[in-house]
Structure 1
Amino acid sequence: MLLAASALLFVGCSADAPFVATPSPTPTADARPIGESATPMALAFAPLRGTRADWAAMQHPSIAAKIDNHEEARPQVALNRTDIVFEELVEGGLTRYVAIWHSDMPPEIGPVRSIRPMDPDIATPFGGMIAYSGGQEIFVEMMQATPLVNLVFDYDDTGLFSRADERPGPHDVILDAEEALSRNAALAPPPVQFVYGGTDPLADPALAATPTTTISQVFSEERFPSWTWDAAASVWLRSQEGAPDLDDAGAQVHAVNVVTMRVDIDWQYGEVPKTVMVGAGEAWISVAGRTAHGTWSKGAREAPIVFTADNGAPLRLAPGNTWIELVPTTGSVTFAP
């Protein structure tokens, strides 16, 4: 049975079996034809989605970008094509995103904004590139100290970034993602971040998952996103401040997995909040109209986040895209049946 690359090995025959990282991404020589084709294709799994993919198509780095979430920055470009998005608290009770693209790379992404002190801890495990518009010198230095290739609008004179005429500044910086990928194609693909199961990974009664139709998350008085389960489409649909959250194509932002993490805020940088990412805390995984409670842990900047159920088992995600809501402990989270 051929499974390969992106450092993944599918264990066992069950649809709920986890994916385990392996040190060798080389496909085996006995690749089998897919469908009617006589051309062998090495199968793999997209490392940031857990979905089946062509091995060769996954052999490129990811691009993480600091994405604006100001009202004047909406709708964001290619937000529904992300693999993983983190939402974080910034100044004034607003939020911004660290969005990561890999399995479905768009030609452009944005609007790109400035870096914050928690972003090195969020982005480092993915490797590849990080795009942002600039930031306070101390935060830029923190990001440049990571192994990531930094793509910085303020320092760029090579045409990687442009300003969109139809958008108001400073919410108008767009990254040419295709060109960024072309220039950095030799970088390694991102490693696996999470454990994936089947399409209903919370079905095991031992996980004590509860039916969920709506997830409500309060970051501050200014930002309170929510998610509604769409059973027909098998996705969560996102709203912000009570209105549907749309991308630049006019589609409502959606996710297969919604992860809610309760996080502490470090105020050592004055008015700039730093989400504490290295540590542990309470977490919920919402998949397929269910929510299971557990904990999250992250041992170091370079380490992935680990989700564990209350019974000690791994909390698995369903194959597909994921949004991770980093809700401060001063905020609130509710799950409606």
Structure 2
Amino acid sequence: MGIRGIHRLATAAVVAASALLLAGCGPSLADLDRPVPDDPAPPVAVAVAPLTGRIVEPGSLARPSLAAKIDNHGAARPQIALNRSDIAFEELVEGGITRYLVVWHSDVPEEIGPVRSIRPMDPDIVSPFGGMIAYSGGQPQFVEMMQDAPVVNLAFDTDTSGLFHRVDDREAPHNVVLDAPAAMAANADLAPPPIQFRYGSADPLAAKRFEAAATDRIDLVFSAARYPSWGWDADAGVWLRSQEGEPDAEASGDRVRAVNVVTLRVEIDTSGEVPRTVMVGSGEAWVSSAGRTAHGTWEKKDRDGRIVLTADDGRALPLAPGNTWVELVPDNGEVAFSG
């Protein structure tokens, strides 16, 4: 249920909810600024899930986020528990293929994977969330960068607590899986993640100021080897993912889906052996929610800063409450929206 669906909260509930929001980056509570009726409902305290914008019970998400580097090699598919994540990032790596950095918080699955090695842009992506990052190796300089980030490193190569294991139904190196509840239990003292995006209603781009275009398909090209797409399912109210022209399903058998698809144009630094997505900076952005797409810009001021989305009119570019995929499309790639 979105913020706009709550009509009978008493003043105490409004105060409780407001205290949980970051100024200027959480959902608006303007619709709750109305007189309490003569026969009000009992006060109900509410909280907002920081990585989805959904209404939750206070205290129910008092745990850290768990991020993991997830393989997207053909042999790694189908991945485990993508649809239970809050936010997923797709990034270009060597050979023209992509990998994911996926963040779980609202819902903790039993297992996640396949877990693979980190890349140089990953500290910039995960640092704003805090919490944990799980990965399986990486070049020493990249591992050192991640160890310097404000997150707890869970590394398969050095794990002595049994958090990781290899599964028999996949070939190495595409078979490393993390026990997510055990990782959460071992790091329960870490703080929950801060809010990352601005959230609005279930149809956040309906206002005329966004000049949002009706959209039923998103086509993206990272390289000749990776060209994902998303199709709008109006009945389900989600975007359904395809890869290289084929439906993309996770290990549960369900189609990979997202309430929001955020597409960012990014520079790729090719000066090293491994392509590095430049995450500190700014560029062109699109938000696709509820069958619409609005254009704007993105900005990230430093490693620890969140991604800020701004509409073309200079005001915030909001998302719908729900899970989000962030597509980091190279500046020499292709972005197309049709409707």
TM-score by length of 2: 0.90
Name the amino acid aligned to 2:50.
Answer: P
Question: C-alpha offsets along residues 248-276 of structure 1, whole Å, 9 cap, x if unaligned?
Answer: 11000000000000000012322x10000
Shift of 1:10: 5.2
| Matched residue, 1:14 | 31
Which residue in the other structure is 2:84 paired with?
81
Distance 1:48 1:218, change over 3 A: same
Q: What does residue 65 of structure 2 align with? A: 62
Please point out which of 158, 176, 179 is paired with 2:179. 176
1:226 aligns with 2:229: yes
1:206: which partner in 2? Answer: 209
Deviation at 1:288, TM superposition (A): 0.5
Is 1:109 aligned to residue 112 of structure 2? yes
Aligned-pair CA distance for 1:6: 5.3
Residue 190 of structure 1 corresponds to 193
5+ residue gaps, structure 2 = 1-10, 33-40
Match in the other structure for 2:313: 311
Shift of 1:157: 1.7
Compute the displacement of 1:56 (Å).
Answer: 1.6
Q: TM-score normalised to the size of structure 1? A: 0.91
Displacement of 1:55: 1.7
Q: Check the 8 A contact 1:236/1:256 in 2, yes or no.
A: yes
Deviations 1:271-301 (A, max 9, x none): x100000000000000000000010000000
Listed as ranges, the matches of 1:121-136 within 5 Å are 121-136=124-139
Match of 2:248 in 1: 245
Contact 1:127 1:148 in 2 (8 A): yes
Q: Identity, % of aligned pairs?
A: 62
Note the alpha carbon deviations across 1:40-89, whole angstroms, 9 max, x for none.
xx420100000011122110000000000011111111000000000000
Structure 1 counterpart of 2:289, one-letter code: V
Change (3 A) 1:75 1:301: same
Cα RMSD (Å): 1.5
Aligned mates of 1:258, 1:112 — CA distance in 2: 23
Task: Kindly indicate whether the alpha-carbon contact (under 8 Å) linking 1:61 and 1:187 is maintained by their aligned counterparts in 2.
Answer: yes
C-alpha contact (below 8 Å) 2:231/2:241 kept by paired residues = yes
Runs of 5+ consecutive residues of structure 1 not aligned to the other structure? 16-30, 35-41
Alpha-carbon distance in 2 for matches of 1:247, 1:12:
36
CA–CA separation in structure 1 for the residues paired with 2:249 and 2:164: 23
